Structure 1
Amino acid sequence: MKEAIIDKTTTVNIRDVDIPAPKQGQVLIRVVASGTNPKDWKLPIWSSEHIMNQGDDIAGFIEEVGEGVQKFRKGDKVAAFHEMMSPHGSYAEYAIAWEHTTFHLTDKTSFEEAATIPLAAMTAALGLYQEMKLPLPWSPAEKRTPLVVYGGATAVGAFAIKFAQLSNIHPIIAVAGKGAPFVETLISREKGDTIIDYREGDEAIRSNIKVAAQGPIHHAYDAVSEKGSYVNLGAALDAPGRVNVVLPAEEGAKIPDGISIHRTMVGSVHNPPAEGQVLGDKEFGAAFFQFIGRGLAQGWFSGHPFEVREGGLGGLEGALKDLRAGKASAVKYVVRISETEGVQ
């Protein structure tokens, strides 16, 4: 089969490898479409250990199931979150995922739309619910709960807004730039939601957040985590306040007393519970992926806007380089594996 490897220069090398076999608790998926993520070009730069098939967003058909798998059988239409930093990712004809990070799709959802969901949506969900402990969609907020989402047009930020809506969390204060028109389609102005333009500068961001909150504000999800975004959020929150970031915060960042910064690590859905815990992120992920699948089937949840890059894996390098150049706004780049040269 064909598989794509990303190196530290964001060059994509397509090679021929054997089709992997699923282990106990795993499924083998024939990949129809794969989504892309910023980490796919960033990690190979950070370490030579990360020069590999970085694809983590899978949409396709079950080809084979490993021992003990109960929910899936060959031919099922599915989406899945591949275990990050493990072999056999989604930039290939076939990929491996664990049963608990795989969910069924109906004909209502295209493979391309589904390929925008797993990594970004679960990153948003973990930050909001497992880490911030905000009200879950099936037990929605009953009182005013202001939430800042920095990077509302990014996939993680947009999914955070969608989940917050399901949880009746308002006002949602979304920080965005040229993607603001897309973010406008996600928020509820009648419930106090608003959009702040980060291009107005640091002081404007901080003051506008406070004005929009109309009272104390303690929660912020930073889906960008670059160029001082979390510093501005920290300055705008009231103690005790919490900022969840998706990238490591710089050492020495000036954060006021009473405000804490925590990094959301989506890979935790593949880990067993921490010592002393009965359940952890792994069980949350298993339940929430099924929740997402139900939402897609019933029409109250949707994926992120996407752009299909031509050429299958042959178009992956251009997509990742455009991600690296910051050209993606309110869009996910997706590749169709069948369009790859040499794939039957």
Structure 2
Amino acid sequence: MKEAIVFNGPTVTIQDVEFPTLPSPSHLIIRVIVSGLNPKDWGIAERVPGLNQGDDIAGIVHSVGASVRNFKEGDRVASFHEMLTPHGSFAEYAVGLEATTIHIPDNVSFEEAATIPLACMTAALGLYQRLGLPLPWLPAQVRCPLVIYGAASAVGAFATKLATLSNIHPLICVAGRGIPYVETLIDRSKGDIILDYRDGNEAVVNGMRTALGEAEKLTYAFDAVSDKGSYQNLMKVMDLKEGKITLVLARKKYEGVPEDFQKSFTQVGKVHSDRYPGIKGEKRLEGLLGDQEFGVVMFRFFEKGLTNGWLKGHPFTVVPRGLGGIGVSLQDLKAGKASATKFVIRIDETEGLSKMRL
């Protein structure tokens, strides 16, 4: 079968490889129909080149391990592949773990489903496991201002959707070209607003201060950008004693953020494994279930939301040429050319793909 390997640059090569085997009785082998792409696909390749970086699987179950109970051959599924492990979604067949796999309802396309696993899980992990905000089934009952920086990105948009389900308001969303999409996600009647980062840092900071009201400090912030002045702007309005900020870039020196401030990181790979190291200076909430248990619960929640219609995927752009389109797409992601859309590929559009299906 064919598989795409990502190197620094980013550059991509397509190779012929062996059909995957099940890593454990709890895994599934999935025929990939659509794969999602993420900014981390080029970012991680800069320090760990030579891997199939795809982690958003949408496809049809080919076979299941002996311990798998909820899925069977032929099921339509979306799965969050275990990061930095073999058999990712940039291939004809990929491997998923039952705990982070969901059924795709008949009314949801493979393209929409491929936008969900990594980004929606990152949003949930940040909001609930890192910031400790009210869960959707125990929604907020009092005013709870939350800044979502980068609200038009897939992670930021899912954070906005989940926060709305949790009745967290006012939402102070920072976005740019994707503002029209973010507008569809918020509730102006509950005080939600959007600030345009293109107006400059001073305007964003003043906008946050105005939204918070006189003498009110910001307690919660989800920074889905973690760059280009985002966290510096947030620190100008944060409550330095009680405030909490969660960030998406762990391997970064956050100058201007005090060492004793409550900052955390949404290392989404932790829903699969504890092998991801803790980060110096990270302040984690105590007394919560582990991230792996949380991941199991939230993927069932995502499936319920898709089935009942109160959770939707992210807008997507289908990149031509299947696996052959990954290289250009990752270069575009690195250049910041995606706004309010997620790039996805259809594996069957790959040139020279074998028509034989195992």
1:38-92 CA-partner distances (Å, limit 9, x unpaired): 01111111x2x33210000000011011121111110111000000011100000
CA contact (8 A) 1:101 1:285 kept: yes
- Give 1:281's aligned residue: 291
CA contact (8 A) 2:26 2:65 kept: yes
Deviation at 1:175, TM superposition (A): 0.4
1:207-254 CA-partner distances (Å, limit 9, x unpaired): 211211223320000001112211111111123111111003743611
TM-score normalised according to structure 1 size: 0.95
**3-state DSSP of counterpart to 1:236:** coil
- Give 2:36's aligned residue: 35
TM-score normalised according to structure 2 size: 0.92
Distance in 2, matches of 1:168 and 1:251, equals 33
Structure 1 residues 216, 311: closer, same or farther in 2, change over 3 A? same
Match status 1:19 vs 2:19? yes
Structure 1 residues 6, 146: closer, same or farther in 2, change over 3 A? same
Distance in 1, matches of 2:260 and 2:146, equals 17
1:86-105 CA-partner distances (Å, limit 9, x unpaired): 11000000000111010111
> Which amino acid is the alignment partner of residue 12 of structure 1?
V
Selected match of 1:317 from 309, 321, 327: 327
Unaligned stretches of 5+ in structure 1?
Answer: none
- Give 2:280's aligned residue: none
- Give 1:124's aligned residue: 123
Unaligned stretches of 5+ in structure 2?
Answer: 278-285
Structure 1 residues 331, 10: closer, same or farther in 2, change over 3 A? same
Matched length: 341
Percentage identity across paired residues of the two chains: 54
- Give 2:269's aligned residue: 267
**3-state DSSP of counterpart to 2:236:** helix
Which residues in structure 2 correspond to 1:166-181 (within 5 Å)?
Answer: 166-181=165-180
Which residues in structure 2 correspond to 1:1-344 (within 5 Å)?
Answer: 1-22=1-22, 23-45=24-46, 47=47, 49-214=48-213, 215-239=216-240, 240-248=242-250, 250-251=252-253, 253-255=255-257, 259-271=261-273, 279-343=289-353, 344=355
- Greater shift in the superposed pair: 244-253 or 94-103: 244-253
Distance in 2, matches of 1:20 and 1:181, equals 42
Structure 1 residues 182, 76: closer, same or farther in 2, change over 3 A? same
Deviation at 1:257, TM superposition (A): 8.1
CA contact (8 A) 2:319 2:343 kept: yes
Structure 1 residues 257, 280: closer, same or farther in 2, change over 3 A? closer
Deviation at 1:277, TM superposition (A): 7.5
Deviation at 1:197, TM superposition (A): 1.1
CA contact (8 A) 1:34 1:58 kept: yes
Structure 1 residues 298, 252: closer, same or farther in 2, change over 3 A? closer
Deviation at 1:278, TM superposition (A): 8.8
> Which amino acid is the alignment partner of residue 303 of structure 2?
G
1:143-189 CA-partner distances (Å, limit 9, x unpaired): 00000000010000000000000000000000011111111111100
